[in-house]
Amino acid sequence: GVLFKGAEVFERSRTIDTVVFDKTGTLTRGAMTLSDVITDEDEARFLYLVASVEAASAHPIGKGVALGAEERGVELGTPDEVAAVAGRGIAGSIDGVDVVVGKAKLMADQGLHISDRYLDALEAVERQGKTGFLAGWDGEVRGTLAVADTVRATSRQTVTTLHSLDTETVMLTGDNRRTADAIATQVGIDTVLAEVLPGDKAEEVARLQATGKTVAFVGDGINDAPALTQADLGMAVGTGTDVAIEAGDIVLMSGDPALAATALRLGRATFRTIKQNLFWAFFYNSAAIPLAAAGLLNPMIAAAAMAFSSVSVVTNSLRLRKFV
C-alpha cells in the first residue's frame, strides 16, 4: 500500500525527524456533517440562505452544510454570485440578500456586527472539537453553525508509532486554535499549527526546516501540493487529488494515516538493508579476490563463496517482507 517514486526516497526517509499532517482528509475523514445551528431567525429560512451559498463551494464544509440543510427538509436555491475568501469563508447573493458565511474575522472585515450570544455559541462548539463559523447579512450576524469531522480510527496509533521512531508530530490546519487543540488532544499530536491559510502551508513547512528539522509532510488536497514539494519528503494520500499525488515523493495508496508510519519504517529499513548488503558484497570480494589472484583459492570454493554471497543478500532483503 505504499508507492516509493524513486530510490533516493529511501535515503531521505532515514533523516526525517518531524512529520507534519494536514488535518482534514488525513487525520480526519474529511466528510463534514452539519451538527449545530444556533439562530434567532426562522431556521428554515436561515439554512436556505446560508446553505444555498455554501452549496456553490467545493469546500468540504460547504458540502456538509448543504447536505445537512437538505436532510432537514430545506430546498436550496441558486445564488446569483459567489466569491470565496481563501481560508476565511464565502460570500454570495441569493434572492437579493448578500450573505456572508465564515470566520469572525471575515464578519468584521465585511462590517457585520457580532452579538455575544453568537460568539459564545461559537466558542462552545469549538471546544467540542467541531468547526464553527458564523453567518449573517444586512449588517448583522444572524447565527452560528458547526460541522463535525470524524477522526480516523488509526490516527492515534499512527502518532504513537511515529513517537516510537523518535519522530516529532505536527498538525497543520486552517481551523481555529480551540478546535485544533481538541483534535490534537484526541490523537496525541505534539505541536499544533492552527489558522494557517491554504497558501501558507509551504511557508510553515519551510519555517520548521529553518529551525533545523528534517520534515515529512502528509497531505491530500490541491492546496497541499506546494507543501508536499517544499518538504524533505512529501507523502501524498492516494485517495486525494491528482495534483497532490503528482507532488508527493511517496504515495499512500489508501486514506489510512497508519501508512505514513509504515512508509517511514519501511524506508529506513530498506536503506539499512541496502547498506548491509553492500557490506557483505564488498566483504566477500575484498577477501576472495586477493586470494584468487595469489592462486590460493580453489575455483570450486570461490564459486561456492559467490553463490553464498548472493543467497545471503537475497535472504537479508527478504526480511523486509515483515512490513507488508
Which residues carry out catalysis? 22
Query: All 3 cell numbers of residue 300?
Result: 570450486
Q: Quote the Cα angle for 37-60-3, to 5°.
A: 150
Q: Which helix (H) or strand (E) holds 155?
A: helix 155-164
Q: Quick one: angle between helices 258-293 and 299-318, nearest 10? A: 170
Q: How far apart are CA 26 and CA 113, in angstroms?
A: 35
Say how far apart CA 284 and CA 314 lie, in whole Å: 15
Q: DSSP assignment, residue 204?
A: H
Query: Do 247 and 234 meet the contact criterion of CB atoms below 8 Å apart?
Result: yes
Other beta carbons within 10 angstroms of residue 219's beta carbon come to: 30
The separation between CA 178 and the C-alpha centre of its own chain, rounded to angstroms, equals: 19
CB 64 within 8 A of CB 33: yes
Unique residue bearing C-alpha cell 486514506 = 255
Contact indicator for 304, 292 with CB cutoff of 8 Å: no
Whether the CB-CB separation of 4 and 38 falls below 8 Å is answered with: no
CA distance 119 to 124: 9
**Partners of residue 4 on adjacent β-strands:** 250
